[in-house]
Chains A and B, each alone.
Chain A
Amino acid sequence: MAGESASPARESRAWDRNPILKVDHLSMRFGGLVAVNDVSFVAGRGEVTAVIGPNGAGKTTVFNCITGFYKPSTGRLALFHGGPATDAEVDGVTASGLAWGKSEAGALYLLERLPDHKVASWARVARTFQNIRLFSGMTILENLLVAQHMSLTTSGLLNPAAILNLPSWQRKQKGAVDRALYWLNKIGLVDRADDPAGDLPYGDQRRLEIARAMCTDPVLLCLDEPAAGLNPRESAALNELLLSIRREHQASILLIEHDMSVVMEISDHVVVLEYGSKIADGTPDEVRNDPRVIASYLGVEDEEEAVAVVEAGA
């Protein structure tokens, strides 16, 4: 296997041993602007992977490529269901020209070949947005039901059982409401289930967006700056939510974050971008002590001062 040829230090990484997403040489150009430049990294299964970097580093663009909203200029984005696929299997699917294939462990998807909605429905990658995108004129409960569209329409968009409101359909719908209630309990918004989503305070909207993404039952959850604009209390609640998602739902999390306290506390693996390129990749401890990260990400020349800032944040 290709892993064998890697250095022993890399071999020991949990994310290399059991990846869920492999980003290979991803580049994204907008006209002359290179927003993402040859970025490769791996997100481990069951882990929280944080992508950090200054504004405009290309983090959101990486997310948009992963979730199919942008078609990357070059690069491969392989997502594994069940367990990691071998490099040979990935190459096989790449050569086949198809967007997905079976692997020994389960299935693998080449996300750059899937349109956005299929990234969500087939590859089961869910996401939130940097600028919250809730269905603000629909109630909170409705938001969570729309998220279960896929599982509710397995027998077609115009399912006769649904049109006639047969008991089989009512049971199915009840299951969806129960699932929504489960998530409402988790984010503490059961009492507001019948209120429009647009009426919620900002922090609640952020958590509702995460709950909505989780209602699609994803294997990979991509969160774009979930803690942006939250106060410390809300931020702590968010950490709690994310950790419990990882614990109880076996979802892997890919996270863009500015708040170093969140990053240090909950992530297993940190990838640092700057000007579209990756400048560091490792455990939170490694990254926090990486002089390049300190100098560039924090924008501080003096290295020691930077370390102090980081540690105060953590």
Chain B
Amino acid sequence: MAPVSGSDLADVPDPSPVPAEKPRGPERTSAVAGAFKDALVSGLLTALLFLPLVGFRASESSTGSLVLTYRFGLVAIFAGIVMVGRFLLMVTVWNPNRPPRRVSTTPGVMARLGALASPAVKPVFFSFAILYPFLSILLAGGLSPSRYWVDLGIYVLTYVMLGWGLNIVVGLAGLLDLGYVAFYAVGAYTFALLSTSVPINDFFAGTLGDDFWTAWAFWICLPLSGILAAMWGVILGFPVLRLRGDYLAIVTLAFGEIIRLVLINWVSLTNGGAGISSIPPITFFGVPFDSSETGFASIFGLEFNSMHRMFFLYFVILGLAALTAVVTIRLRKMPVGRAWEALREDEIACRSLGINTTLTKLTAFATGAMFGGFAGAFFAVRIRFVSPESFTFMESAVILAIVVLGGMGSQMGVAGAAILLIGGMELLRNLSFLKADFLFGSDFDPSLYRMLIFGFAMVAVMVWRPRGLVSSRMPTIFLKERKAVSGSLVKEGHG
């Protein structure tokens, strides 16, 4: 039969490299023979799994009806890769004859390294974050060439901020929120709707000058977006926060979807799927970034460059992210923050101590939502266009993955995870070298594989480190010595 005829499938990660339990009897066959058998079985399994959807492809023929094309060679290649990989793993890492790893109750090496480095990590991270745009100019060789890197920095920092915001809900209070993107959407639409509103513009034009609203809309709407998102957090949270973990997760997911569907269908307000465009750009506290006499460049005696606005956006999101971090750090040391963490540890014990758990959960939900709202407003002013497409469940899943991968509760972990995941996904977008003729050819689209690899990485990371990158917890107060609490003692809450 025809060998590989579809060239767009080449890099699917193999889904079955896990050892089956081996009966550990005295008559255990030699490791190599066992490994060989295992490899054969997994290879066969892979072939079977891949046969229907990789081996065959339903392609559209010229007449529009579907015809089958065959790619059995591809299936064989995958089966072979899995077989070899499995065999190598079985004789090395998963070798049953290897002495079992010692089990320790003390924090693992990673955790201890993390604890050692942690006093240094934060200042280093923040200095780097502040210097980053200047470094990009240096490395990219000029203001304009650095656009890509500064933009990437803004993009990553937005997710750092969203991760920190959701971390309050999931990491500290232990409430699984799968609809966080709803608050991001509320923030974005609040700003988009208010800033493009003609009546408001006219109102201010009559009182404070023609340009007032365009110049100040963001700075006035930013707090409003946060407050409105927090209010939505309370409205949505109030009925659902008594639910147990998984149910809470599903209800929040449903709320997220409802909000998105309403945004799509309420055309008279939101302009539906077409979205809202021509949102006024950010200003330097009222001073526009344009080439006019009264623009930022002439006032500060600089030569006009559109990168100024980009730079400013970078520092605005850095400031917002820092605000999120500082507020969270402060709240953790307050009774309300301790109550959040206590709630994650044991809700029933909390109630026996007189803590109003509904109220406490609501504050966590609302605080998280508020930061989501800020981030949403920022998103809208950066892109200057909002549409329901930006607020899908995938977005919530990505933010949640950042929090969980980071190690719930740890701010540095979450920041690291955001950089890894978002930066990584961005890198995948740029794998254009794979299009070279000797690799996959020019009709190969690497960005197709982005989400595939993302999903695979999510599973792999969970299996590898279920507790995330930084699993230990720092106490909020100490008498003599601040010692990290091992992740194995920290609970994950009811959801």
A binds B: yes
> Is the C-beta of A149 less than 8 angstroms from some C-beta in chain B?
yes
List which B335-365 residues lie within 8 A (CB) of chain A: 335-336, 338-339, 341-342, 345-346, 348-357, 359-360, 363
Q: Quick one: closest A residue to B360, CB to CB?
A: A157
Indicate if the CB atoms of B351 and A194 lie closer than 8 Å. Answer: no
A129 at the interface (CB under 8 A from B): yes
Q: Which residue of A lies closest to B484 (CB)?
A: A196
| B335 CB contacts on chain A under 8 angstroms | 145-146, 148-149, 152-153, 157, 162
Most buried by B among A149, A150, A159: A149
Is A139 among interface residues, defined by CB-CB distance under 8 A? yes
**Is A136 located at the chain interface by the 8 A CB criterion?**
yes
- The distance in angstroms between the C-alpha atoms of A135 and B353, with both chains bound, is 12
Please tell me if the beta carbons of A117 and B475 are within 8 angstroms of each other in the complex: no
Structural contact, B336 and A136, CB atoms closer than 8 A: no
Cα distance A136–B105 in the bound complex, in angstroms: 14
Q: Determine the distance from Cα of A213 to Cα of B354 in the docked complex, in whole angstroms.
A: 10
Q: Which residues of B contact A134 (CB under 8 A)?
A: 346, 349
Contact (A120, B352) CB under 8 Å given A137-B489, A149-B335: yes
- A146 B339 Cβ-Cβ under 8 A: yes
B354 pairs with A149, CB closer than 8 A: yes
Residue from A118, A138, A195 in contact with B342 in the complex, judged by beta carbons closer than 8 Å: A138
Residues of B within 8 A of A126 (CB): 352-353
Contact B346 A135 (CB under 8 A): yes
Bound form: Cα–Cα A145–B338 in Å? 8
A159 CA to B335 CA, complexed, in Å? 10
Q: What distance in Å separates the Cβ of A196 from its nearest Cβ neighbour in chain B?
A: 4
Query: How many of A's residues come within 8 Å of B, CB to CB?
Result: 45
The answer to whether A129 touches B349, judged by C-beta atoms less than 8 angstroms apart, is yes
Interface string of A136-175 (1 = CB under 8 A from B): 1111011001111110110001110011010000000000
Q: Does B267 touch A at the CB level, under 8 Å? A: no
Number of interface residues of B (CB under 8 A): 39
With A and B bound together, what is the CA distance between A129 and B346 in angstroms? 12
Are B336 and A147 in contact, with the CB atoms below 8 A?
no
Contact B476 A142 (CB under 8 A): yes
The verdict on B330 contacting chain A, using a C-beta distance below 8 Å, is: yes
Q: Which of B349, B357, B489 is the one whose CB lies under 8 Å from A198?
A: B489
For A120, A121, A148, A157, the residue with the greatest tally of chain B CB atoms inside 10 Å of its CB is A157
Q: Is the CB of A157 within 8 A of B336?
A: yes
Which of the residues B353, B363, B480, B491 comes within 8 Å of A136, measured between beta carbons? Answer: B491
A195 with B483, Cβ < 8 A, contacts A142-B477, A177-B477 known: yes
Question: B348 and A138: CB pair below 8 A?
Answer: no
Q: Which residues of B contact A59 (CB under 8 A)?
A: none
Residues of A within 8 A of B480 (CB): 193-194
Which residues of chain A have a CB within 8 Å of any CB of chain B? 67, 69, 116-118, 120-121, 126-127, 129, 133-139, 141-142, 145-150, 152-153, 157-159, 162-163, 165, 177, 181, 190, 193-196, 198-199, 212-213, 216
- Chosen A-B contacts, 18 in total, with CB atoms closer than 8 Å, are A67-B352, A120-B352, A127-B352, A135-B341, A135-B345, A135-B346, A137-B345, A137-B485, A138-B338, A139-B483, A142-B338, A146-B338, A149-B353, A150-B354, A157-B336, A194-B483, A195-B483, A196-B485
